């Protein structure tokens, strides 16, 4: 496979469930990102990992927990979500973060519905 892949593509979960989203990039990039895309809103950056170190984003609720075990894989662990968390969750990767940020390439996204 090439590019950025995400699984699952669709997920329906109850508010008490625990689930995880997975992202894998095959581009040799060293930075990975989680975005949330809700209707009529701009893409919201949730988390950034550069060289497997996390850049904090304090505005993200603790019910979202990222994990980056290596430069090719990124997870988003979900627990006790709310219906307003229903959205498209996009993973992206790039060569750098910061002043030398290169183009970000996106995965296909996971469409999450919280009941």
| Binding region for another protein (CB under 8 A) | 33, 40-43, 45, 88, 90, 98-99, 101, 103-109
Smallest distance from another protein to CB 78, Å: 19
Smallest distance from another protein to CB 102, Å: 9
The single-letter DSSP state of residue 42 is -
Question: How many whole angstroms separate alpha carbon 56 and alpha carbon 62?
Answer: 12
The single-letter DSSP state of residue 63 is T
Q: Which long-range contacts (CB under 8 A, 24 or more apart) does 60-68 make?
A: 64/34, 66/34, 68/32
Nearer to another protein, 75 or 105 (CB): 105
Nearer to another protein, 2 or 103 (CB): 103
Smallest distance from another protein to CB 48, Å: 8
Question: How many whole angstroms separate alpha carbon 108 and alpha carbon 17?
Answer: 23
Nearer to another protein, 90 or 112 (CB): 90
Question: How many whole angstroms separate alpha carbon 92 and alpha carbon 24?
Answer: 9
Nearer to another protein, 8 or 14 (CB): 8
């Amino acid at each position: 496979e090439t590019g950025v892949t995400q699984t699952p593509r669709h997920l329906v979960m109850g508010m008490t469930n625990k689930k995880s989203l997975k992202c894998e990039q095959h581009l040799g990039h060293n930075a990975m990102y989680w975005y949330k895309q809700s209707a009529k809103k701009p893409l919201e950056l949730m988390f950034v990992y550069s060289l497997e170190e996390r850049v904090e984003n304090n505005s993200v609720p603790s019910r979202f927990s990222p994990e980056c075990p290596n430069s090719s894989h990124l997870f988003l662990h979900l627990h006790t979500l709310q219906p307003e968390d229903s959205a498209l969750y996009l993973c992206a990767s790039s060569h750098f973060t910061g002043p030398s940020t290169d183009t970000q390439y996106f995965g296909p996204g996971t469409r999450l519905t919280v009941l």
